[in-house]
Chain A
Amino acid sequence: MAHAPQSNFSNPVVNWIDQRLPVITMMNKEYGSFPTPRNFNYFWNFGALAMFVLVTMIVSGIVLAMHYTNNTLLAFDSVERIMRDVNWGWMIRYIHANGASMFFIVVYIHIFRGIYYGSYKAPRELIWIFGVVILLLMMGTAFMGYVLPWGQMSFWGATVITNLFSAIPVVGESIVTLLWGGFSVDNPTLNRFFALHFLLPFVLLAVVFLHVAALHITGSNNPLGIEPKGPQDTLPFHPYYTTKDIFGLTVFLIFFAAFVFFAPNYLGHPDNYIPADPLVTPAHIVPEWYFLPFYAILRSITFSIGLPFTDVVLIPAKLGGVLAMFGSIAILFVLPWLDTSPVRSSRFRPIFKWWVLLCLVPAFFMLGYAGGKPAEQPYVLIGQLGTVMYFAFFLLLPIIGRIEKPLPLPASIAKPVLGGGSVATGATAQVMEKA
């Protein structure tokens, strides 16, 4: 019994379980006494919020799946039946549809937090990489979910996005046929999208588990970007951050409910209430808002790249757009290595701070704006400028890391938080630093 954990719970049943499978001890260690930096700001709520939205999406999605019919002839009507006849169906569907938007709002802020405070840096690179995988899975899941109601935007969004793969040289057309299971987006496509839309959230949940498990090895980053040096720099997760997360969740739920109950279709597109028609393309196809920045990058490559002074085309415009769009996500994977500065938090990085706020953030909003507009001037130009700014943000990071003079870092988290601190705290901090 050398490895038997020492469980000491007053409830004998809990004790019996914990001795055999120490889940309760583990939960207590990871979410109860877990030492967490004491200086979190509200940006640190968004991981917990994302987890909440994921669970909401899975629960509402499973209920919707019980009422939905995945057949091109019945899908649209089955969704309308959910809206009109199924008890509370309208609310569950609006929670699910707006929940997708909420998920992206929360996750985009969470990613911004990670970039601004350098959370992707050593030793947290793998957490960041899992995070980018989560973003990709979210995008795939959201895209396939939007196809299921089989409205006009469902059909034409699916057509445009699956056609992206036809840009791949040589095998592109075969890949598209394989994705469709036919010669156009049709019933086989709808069936497989439904199966994958059901499966992927659980894959997502597994990657979220890895994301959080890896986080609990290194511990959280914090607004100062310096590691806790001892118990004076941390607080137990419970009750301090459970309380803070619940407060943040309450505020977020008001925001979420405002959309669900007062503007449920504000973030959607009216064309999706027209049943899919393979013979009529809507005048203006736009993806859901959360894809607009990436859609704008796709459309901003309007030129082919060839060998100068010849007619040889190396990358046709269509392939170039697809590469740029996938590249905009792929570049996130290497962010921890593009940023060479040893300092994490923007608070101590005078150039990087404004590089994020005046290059990356405006680029994201410019791309989002241009992506929702028709492919005309001046929107194409705004999109192209946004694309250049987006990629420049990442590609110039190695230079910024070299030329930037970071501000002096505080000695510990406790010092600035406690305003210099008492003699005792200061002494402890110094002792911890030496240790």
Chain B
Amino acid sequence: MADTMHAGDGQTRRDFIYLAGAAMGGVGAAAALWPFIHSLNPAADTLALATIEVDLAPIQPGQAIKAMWRGKPVFIRNRTPEEIDTARKVPVADLIDPQTDQERVKEGKDNWLVLVGVCTHLGCIPLGTSPGEAKGDFGGWFCPCHGSHYDTSGRIRKGPAPLNLHVPEYAFISDTRVKIG
């Protein structure tokens, strides 16, 4: 009975083995769980569909189109000089999510506004892209779900949405072609 000789000692060593064993098991279980959780993240084929190219030539000034990207619409708007002007005259400090119009477009391509067409509130598609749709109080977009108004730069001006419409990563391949994603 060596244990009785060094009772305190044995107790501590046993506690340590329990703790180490439990910690080891816990780490192992967490590691084993990760593949199952990560399997729920976007799969390789979903990620592979993550870029698209769009031809801009048919879009006249004042018009806009919807393209499908990653399962959501992208709004591409060819803005008129007045629309650009209105967007740039707004004092940035007055905005809910302060951002200048210049930060939201590519330099030299100031008429092209490319936005993820998903309301930043709860993910509805704002109206205002197709002709005849309500554009809201600021001439941009209007989300019918909970009444968010976006301006001609896609910035949130009124309503519950917390952020401006997202600008996706995109690049001009030529003057009339963009690659989104």
Whether B42 lies near A182 (C-beta < 8 A) is yes
Whether B72 lies near A278 (C-beta < 8 A) is yes
**Which residue of B41, B145, B162 contacts A285 across the interface (Cβ within 8 Å)?**
B145
**Which residue of A163, A188, A278 contacts B46 across the interface (Cβ within 8 Å)?**
A188
**A183, A280, A283 — most chain B CB neighbours (10 Å):** A183
Within 8 Å of chain A (Cβ to Cβ): is B43? yes
Within 8 Å of chain B (Cβ to Cβ): is A251? no
Chain B residues contacting A159 (CB-CB under 8 Å) are 122-124
Whether B125 lies near A181 (C-beta < 8 A) is no
Chain A residues contacting B41 (CB-CB under 8 Å) are 177-178, 181
Within 8 Å of chain B (Cβ to Cβ): is A265? no
CB distance from B92 to the nearest CB of A (A): 13
In angstroms, Cα B56 to Cα A22, docked, is 77
**Interface segment out of the listed B22-30, B63-71, B100-108:** B63-71
Within 8 Å of chain B (Cβ to Cβ): is A164? yes
Chain A residues contacting B123 (CB-CB under 8 Å) are 159-160, 162-163, 166
Chain B residues contacting A279 (CB-CB under 8 Å) are 66, 68, 73, 125
A181-B40 CB under 8 A given contacts A186-B71, A278-B71, A318-B121? yes
**Which residue of A160, A192, A283, A302 contacts B122 across the interface (Cβ within 8 Å)?**
A160
The number of inter-chain residue pairs (CB within 8 angstroms) is: 83
In angstroms, Cα B40 to Cα A179, docked, is 7
**Which residue of A177, A302, A318 contacts B42 across the interface (Cβ within 8 Å)?**
A177
In angstroms, Cα B43 to Cα A184, docked, is 13
Chain A residues contacting B124 (CB-CB under 8 Å) are 156, 159-160, 281, 285
In angstroms, Cα B50 to Cα A178, docked, is 16
Report, as a range, how many residues of chain B touch the other chain. Answer: 20 to 34
Within 8 Å of chain B (Cβ to Cβ): is A284? yes
One digit per residue, 1 when the CB lies within 8 angstroms of any chain A CB and 0 when it does not, for chain B 30-60 equals 0000000100111100100010000000000
CB distance from A392 to the nearest CB of B (A): 24
Within 8 Å of chain B (Cβ to Cβ): is A317? yes
In angstroms, Cα B46 to Cα A180, docked, is 11
Whether A284 lies near B144 (C-beta < 8 A) is yes
Residue of A whose beta carbon sits closest to that of B71: A184
Residue of B whose beta carbon sits closest to that of A181: B40
Within 8 Å of chain A (Cβ to Cβ): is B147? yes
One digit per residue, 1 when the CB lies within 8 angstroms of any chain B CB and 0 when it does not, for chain A 292-322 equals 0000000100100000000000001110010
**A177, A279, A281 — most chain B CB neighbours (10 Å):** A281
Residue of A whose beta carbon sits closest to that of B50: A183
CB distance from A58 to the nearest CB of B (A): 25
Whether B144 lies near A178 (C-beta < 8 A) is no
Whether A182 lies near B70 (C-beta < 8 A) is yes
In angstroms, Cα B40 to Cα A329, docked, is 27
CB distance from A270 to the nearest CB of B (A): 17
Within 8 Å of chain A (Cβ to Cβ): is B14? no
Chain A residues contacting B43 (CB-CB under 8 Å) are 181, 188
CB distance from B85 to the nearest CB of A (A): 28
A164-B68 CB under 8 A given contacts A178-B40, A283-B144? no
Chain A residues contacting B66 (CB-CB under 8 Å) are 279
CB distance from B79 to the nearest CB of A (A): 21
Within 8 Å of chain A (Cβ to Cβ): is B160? yes
One digit per residue, 1 when the CB lies within 8 angstroms of any chain B CB and 0 when it does not, for chain A 147-187 equals 00000000010011011101000000000011111111110
In angstroms, Cα B27 to Cα A139, docked, is 33
Residue of B whose beta carbon sits closest to that of A302: B160
A317-B46 CB under 8 A given contacts A182-B71, A278-B71, A284-B144? no
**B42, B122, B143 — most chain A CB neighbours (10 Å):** B122
Whether B122 lies near A184 (C-beta < 8 A) is no
One digit per residue, 1 when the CB lies within 8 angstroms of any chain B CB and 0 when it does not, for chain A 350-376 equals 000000000000000000000000011
CB distance from B150 to the nearest CB of A (A): 14
CB distance from A13 to the nearest CB of B (A): 45
CB distance from B72 to the nearest CB of A (A): 5
Whether B122 lies near A181 (C-beta < 8 A) is no
Whether A178 lies near B122 (C-beta < 8 A) is no
In angstroms, Cα B71 to Cα A376, docked, is 30
Chain A residues contacting B177 (CB-CB under 8 Å) are none
CB distance from A127 to the nearest CB of B (A): 31
Chain B residues contacting A302 (CB-CB under 8 Å) are 160
A181-B46 CB under 8 A given contacts A159-B122, A164-B122, A280-B125? yes
Within 8 Å of chain A (Cβ to Cβ): is B88? no
Within 8 Å of chain A (Cβ to Cβ): is B179? no
Whether A183 lies near B160 (C-beta < 8 A) is no
CB distance from B158 to the nearest CB of A (A): 11
Whether A281 lies near B46 (C-beta < 8 A) is no
CB distance from A304 to the nearest CB of B (A): 8
Interfacial residues of chain B within 83-129, with CB under 8 A of chain A in the complex: 118, 121-125
Chain A residues contacting B40 (CB-CB under 8 Å) are 178-179, 181, 188, 192
Whether A375 lies near B146 (C-beta < 8 A) is yes
Chain A residues contacting B160 (CB-CB under 8 Å) are 299, 302, 317-318, 321, 375
B-contacting residues of A (Cβ < 8 Å)? 156, 159-160, 162-164, 166, 177-186, 188, 192, 278-281, 283-285, 299, 302, 316-318, 321, 375-376
- 7 A-B pairs with least C-beta separation: A184-B71, A183-B70, A163-B123, A281-B124, A160-B122, A281-B125, A163-B122
A-B contact pairs, 14 of them (CB 8 A): A159-B122, A163-B121, A164-B122, A181-B40, A181-B42, A183-B70, A185-B71, A188-B42, A278-B72, A281-B124, A281-B125, A283-B144, A284-B144, A302-B160
Known: A318-B161, A375-B145. 9 other contacts (CB 8 A): A160-B122, A160-B124, A177-B42, A181-B40, A182-B70, A186-B46, A188-B42, A278-B72, A279-B73
